[in-house]
Amino acid sequence: MSIVYEEKRKTITLHTKNTTYQMQIDRYGFLLHLYYGKRADGCMDYLLTFYDRGFSGNPYDAGNDKTYSMDALPQEFPSLGTGDYRTPACIIKNTDRTYCSDFRYESHTIKEGKYSLEGLPAVYASDDEAQTLEVVLVDRVTGVRAELLYGVLPEYDIITRSVRIINRSNGHISVKKLAPACLDMVGGQYDFITFYGRHAMERNYQRMPIGHGVSKIGSLRGSSSHQYNPAVIVAEKDTTEDAGGCYAMSFVYSGGFQSEAGMDQYYQTRVLMGLSEEQFAYPLNAGEEFQAPEVIMSYSSEGLSRLSQNLHRCMRTHLCRGKYKEAVRPILLNSWEASYFDFTGDSLLQLAQQAADLGIEMFVMDDGWFGQRDSELRGLGDWTVNEEKLGCTLGELIGKINDMGLKFGIWIEPEMVNEDSSLYREHPDWAFVIPGRRPNRSRHQLVLDFSRKEVVDHIYDQICAVLDQGNVEYIKWDMNRSLADIYSATADSQGRVLYDYVLGLYDFLERLVERYPHILIEGCSGGGGRFDAGMLYYTPQIWCSDNTDPIDRLEIQYGTSFIYPISSAGSHVSASPNHQTGRCTSMKTRGVVALAGTFGYELNLNDLSEEEKKEIRGQIAEYKRFAPLIQGGLYYRITNPQTDNLGAWQFVSEDQTEALVQAVSIRQHANMTVDYIRIKGLKENTMYRETGSGKVYNSTALRETGLPMPVALGEYRAYQWHFICEES
Ligand code: GLA
């Protein structure tokens, strides 16, 4: 039993293999948070302290007891109006126009299996893998209910949280703020690890102390964004990759979000993860309900690598779906950096033939194949094949590509429209434009109002009509701007539109996944602008970044790896000099970095020398050899490429008999000193053979002292070592 209710002390305890989470229904019916950390038995309510604290008021029920204050007690779901002046998880505007919610425990149920959320992505599990706790809280004055959901996956050390607000009052209310996950910690000093960035430089790692005042990250862009990723880690001050306590919160949502972390006046820490408050006021008439997306949480007492491994395992096997979720993904060639908009059917076929000759498995036709789409200026919204440009029908093109032994994939950007398109001319009100104002353009495009079902239906039908023309086995779903000018002509309140937009997106994706279960969908938003756990439910891989420079990718993939499985991060070998940075790197370096993701190519193969083609054949063979280990193994970060001389990481099979270590030198100096790569995760004091050199090493020595990184002239050299256990 992973969820246990103890009647005497009124505690509810959630156990996973290595962690314990505990809450208590207290004497006044408040749901207090007691503990989240290393697995522990017993009641932890001794952690609650009661003192008379100035300017921390007391609920009326506490009578003359000045020591009982919600301003100091750790809570599961803090709301505005109980005397807690810290940042709340929930703000509701009531029928009487007040902002008070005083949620008290009403009941709870424990069920086998993991809850699911209608219309929203969520972790899934079979009944014997998970349990669900539902705690019903009620504001006894308004009747508004908050149903807290907890999903427990014991083997994965994962706890998920969500909340449903039900309007059981007599009138209209609106939900102004909602964070399904709150972590209140009474002691300790913590760091807030977040992932910031920009287009083509996503998910940079930042670690800063949680101090007094609230640190907040988030996205006001209507999508999860390049700028901040909707996942955070809270780590004890001295936590490293290999030791110490740390918590993760990953939002299973692809729209605007916010995460707040702060220390209160009593040196207690609160961390929240939830929906962005900006332009959000979700209307609920009497009887209606609002379902928040869920947050995936995990705790590791053994440092950050273990925390990432917990998340990777859960997302890979219990969030991603479909036939490709654990399969080795096909090696693809994408036409974008090969020819951008400038192609014909013949040039694509020529490229595809080259790809087939090299052993590449899938050809992806990127942007530029539909409507009048010959540049960024026009065509989005008109999903009809430009047969004149292709010189044939889509079905014929796919047939020829399939005849070469290649699968075929196609790029789409369903959420967008150019003003220069038939769709916009016919339905100008389908794009987000505020009446009387001129809209913000971005990449010359506007965003379609996916909060409206008729808009989603229309685009869905157009896209299906394209997909039905031939044997399409892959889709790249792109989204190339942030939302703005939020106004929906048919909405009863504009405060719901951003959330409903995301539901529209998920509805489209869900229908696509059901209708075409054999199609692999790769998410994309100008690279990794919507790289989040919500999208992974529909798209088991996401284009990691529009930046394909392997040296920049070291940092991007490093940041990504803290939360997301390696199998989800699209990573391609592109041309040198690189199109985004102008940097020159060897084919080997580009190959090693791309191998640490979902592997593919994105360059004009016609420009390659015979020598380079030979290298590519070698890389393809290597990918096939190592892909199961890379995609399914345990991932360890060895260095931090933001600050160290080299980027180094490794994959270890779950049974610890095999490991692949990869490294790229970043900073080069004369008379170079030697860096030692400390290899982790192997069996203790066991001999391993490095298969490239045949040399045998002791695993403990490899971890304690490391493997010397070769010193050689020249920048950005890549190395790879493959270890096999000598002892059974
Ligand atoms: C975005 C994507 C690219 C490419 C272009 C096409 O920028 O991230 O990979 O598909 O759009 O317009």
State the pLDDT at residue 701.
Answer: 98
Among residues 356, 375, 361, 373, which one has the least CA distance to residue 324?
Answer: 361
> Rounded distance, CA 58 to CA 412, Å?
56
**Nearest-5° angle of CA 259, CA 261, CA 262?**
150
For 375-428, the pLDDT digits (tens) are 999 999 999 999 999 999 999 999 999 999 999 999 999 999 999 999 999 999
Active site residues: 532, 612
Q: Of the candidates 409, 448, 454, which has an alpha carbon nearest to the alpha carbon of residue 430?
A: 448
Q: Is 121 touching ligand 1 by the criterion CB < 6 Å?
A: no
Q: Which among 249, 248, 244, 299 is positioned nearest to 273, based on CA atoms?
A: 249
Of 624, 550, 552, 561, nearest to 591 by C-alpha is 550
CB 686 within 8 A of CB 723: no
The atom of ligand 1 lying closest to the CA of 340 is 6
pLDDT at residue 339 in the model: 98
| Nearest by Cα to 214 from 279, 251, 259 | 259
pLDDT at 673: 94
Cα 337 to middle of ligand 1, angstroms: 9
- The pLDDT tens digits for 513-535 are 999 999 999 999 999 999 999 99
Could you tell me what percent of the chain has a pLDDT over 90? 100
Atom of ligand 1 minimally distant from the CA of 527: 8
What pLDDT does 128 receive?
97
Nearest CA to ligand 1 atom 6: 367
The pLDDT value given to residue 514 = 98
From residue 49, alpha-carbon distances to 44, 52, 55, 552 in Å are 12, 10, 17, 48
CB under 8 Å to 225, separation ≥6 — which residues? 219, 482, 529, 530
- Ligand 1 proximity of 241 Cβ (cutoff 6 Å): no
Instruction: Compute CA distances 158 → 29, 94, 113, 274, 459, whole Å.
Output: 27, 34, 13, 18, 37
Each residue's pLDDT tens digit, 438-479: 999 999 999 999 999 999 999 999 999 999 999 999 999 999
Tell me, in angstroms, the distance from the centre of ligand 1 to residue 525's CA.
Answer: 8
Question: Which helix (H) or strand (E) covers residue 464, if one does?
Answer: helix 453-467
Q: Which residues 6+ apart lie within 8 Å of 728 measured at CB?
A: none
Mean pLDDT, range 229-254, rounded to an integer: 98
Band of pLDDT at residue 1, cut at 50, 70 and 90: confident
pLDDT at 695 over 80: yes
> Is residue 267's pLDDT more than 80?
yes
Query: Candidates 337, 342, 411: which one to mutate for ligand 1, based on the most atoms within 8 Å of Cβ?
Result: 411
Task: Name the closest-CA residue to atom 4, ligand 1.
Answer: 336
Query: What burial letters (b/e) apply to 685-712, b meaning 16+ CB within 10 Å?
Result: ebebebeeeeeebebeebbeebbebeee
526 lines ligand 1 (CB under 6 A): yes
With a cut of 90, say whether residue 728 has pLDDT above it.
Answer: no
Q: What pLDDT does 250 receive?
A: 99
For ligand 1, what atom is nearest to the CA of residue 411? 10
Query: What does the pLDDT read at residue 621?
Result: 98
Residue 372 Cα to ligand 1 midpoint, Å, equals 17
Tell me if 480 CB under 6 Å of ligand 1.
yes
Residues near 468 by beta carbon (within 8 Å), at least 6 away in sequence: none
Angle at 175 between CA 172 and CA 181, to 5 degrees: 150
C-beta of 68 in contact with ligand 1 (< 6 A)? no
- pLDDT tens digits, residue range 587-635? 999 999 999 999 999 999 999 999 999 999 999 999 999 999 999 999 9
pLDDT of 727 strictly over 90: no
Residue 329: pLDDT over 90: yes
**Nearest Cα residue to 698 out of 706, 686, 711:** 686
Question: The tokens of 599 are what?
Answer: 């592997």
pLDDT digits (tens, 9 = 90+) for 271-311: 999 999 999 999 999 999 999 999 999 999 999 999 999 99
**In the predicted model, what is the mean pLDDT of the chain?**
98
Report the nearest atom of ligand 1 relative to the CA of 546.
Answer: 8
